[in-house]
Structure 1
Amino acid sequence: MPEGHSVHRIALQFRGNFVGKRVAVTSPQGRFAAEAALIDGRTMADARAVGKQMFLEFDNGLWLRVHLGIYGAWDFAGEITVDDTIRSSGGRMGQTNQRGTVLDSRGEDSIASMGAPRRARLWMSESEKEDDSAFVFPPEPVGAVRARLLTDTAVADLRGPTACQVIDSETAASVIAGLGPDPEVDDGPEVEEAVARALTSKKTPIGLLLMDQSIVSGIGNVYRAELLYRARLNPHTPGNKVPLKTARALWRDWAHLLDIGVRTGQMMTMDDLTPDDWAKAMASREDRHWVYKREGLPCRVCGTHIAMEVMAARKLYWCPYCQA
């Protein structure tokens, strides 16, 4: 399932290529036809992400809410903005400098230097793939396209979402209010304190609390496993047994990792890598994480085999020694 960084990058794509433009909205599949008609021909006013959900605002006061879920994805084509971080194969990714800024392959900040749109295709979900081969615009819908958003120069096709609905501004505000803080949206010591208090107020295992989108937004299976390992915290620890200091640090680390994910398009969870190791990690997920998907392999720190178990129907990865 796409985690917070992916949804923020998709929102960036919409802000760069759709906001401020009149959009034709259709449902090639047919399942979304009635709701598509409500926003068809309207101008997109805003695009924002909160955790794993995205909200596209139109000039008639209606919003398109999308939750990609496990199978959802967006397919962009036309004159779209594509930054260097999308080209992650072959180790051509940038690296962090001493100040922690993530740079693209030209040594520039990847978000600030997205540049002018160019003719390309871009598939966006948990990962991103680019294809700049020649094609006719707009391309014919491929597969079960739930919703198609089309401008004079760009098209976005949505397939397989868990949620795709048109809602009014009051409903949008209510949905957003029910979501926990998102570091890309919410900031400040009061937010950090509220999240820390929420995480430490229940007996529920911390491994479940971090996945509760009403407590903190955007954390999925990968970031959950990596955050807990980086904190050397046993995922079974009851939330009310986690020190407030540790809970505050979890929020700050989530903000740190999410920022890297939004900038690079990759869930990079290992710090202090050499330039060569950074390039290697960006090219291969196996070199990017401490524990995720490493069950049976030795811990990178202590050598203990990484464990995998099921917690609330989701796979949980952790080190029984480092996180004892």
Structure 2
Amino acid sequence: MPLAATGDLVAGAATARSAVVAFNVITLEHVEAVVAGAEAAGTPVLLQISENAVRFRYGRLLPLARAAVAAARAAAVPVALHLDHVQSDELLRQAPEAGFSSVMYDASRLPYADNLAATRAAAEWAHAQGLWIEAELGQVGGKDGRPPLDAHAPGARTDPGEAHAFVTGSGVDALAVAVGNAHAMTERTAALDHDLLKRLAGALDVPLVLHGSSGLADAELTEAVAGGIAKVNVGTALNIAMTGAIRDFLAARPEAVDSRKYLGVGREAMVEEVTRLLGVIGTPRATPTA
């Protein structure tokens, strides 16, 4: 199947009042698990590679990106590639040739005016290359080992009026919002401000994106999608599934050295979690291939 376009998948989900799920991938096992899980669920999906993942891979984007492209083209469901949390302009400019149809440009660490200016410049360049672009306003927190922001800290939540001005001024195609979510949570205990989310959905005419979804219980996820989220990012949940399965396997078999055995167990655990989450979030089912 040809590579899908992120903008098409997100727009389709938004029209259906559902969400497309973007899974962060770090290894080939992540890539294979996400595609297999999406095929089992019969739904489209996004393979998402972050700047942190690129840094882990010795700063080289293409090896993992090429694997993701190959897996996407062999998939029985629509699969698109998304470059996540890009802060480096050099990395941003590698996206089109590497097979990505979209990027998330992250200048949220900057003061508002600087965030707006940097994001506007990135959006102009991205659109000239045919890329769909996402940005973030408000601070989701929890990235790069930093603790989540207190819910009442300045900038911790996305303001609807500011968000409208930001989207209008930057020209982005989607906005990641901070509504009580946090990156890298290993317990599903976060509680979203659903009233704020509804106000954001009413104030903006672009799709909303939820980062830090691994910290949310199923009921929170489904309510968030009903409240206007059209793209849901998932990363840590896959790592929890993989690591737990490998840890259990090696604890029961301390003599094991064949990496195919424990990586295979870890991959299957991720397939199960991908399939489960796609069922929870309710992404529209894909049209089967011939």
User: TM-score, with normalisation over the residues of structure 1?
Assistant: 0.27
**Structure number with higher strand proportion:** 1
User: TM-score, with normalisation over the residues of structure 2?
Assistant: 0.29
Q: Which has the bigger relative contact order, CA under 8 A and spacing at least 6?
A: 2
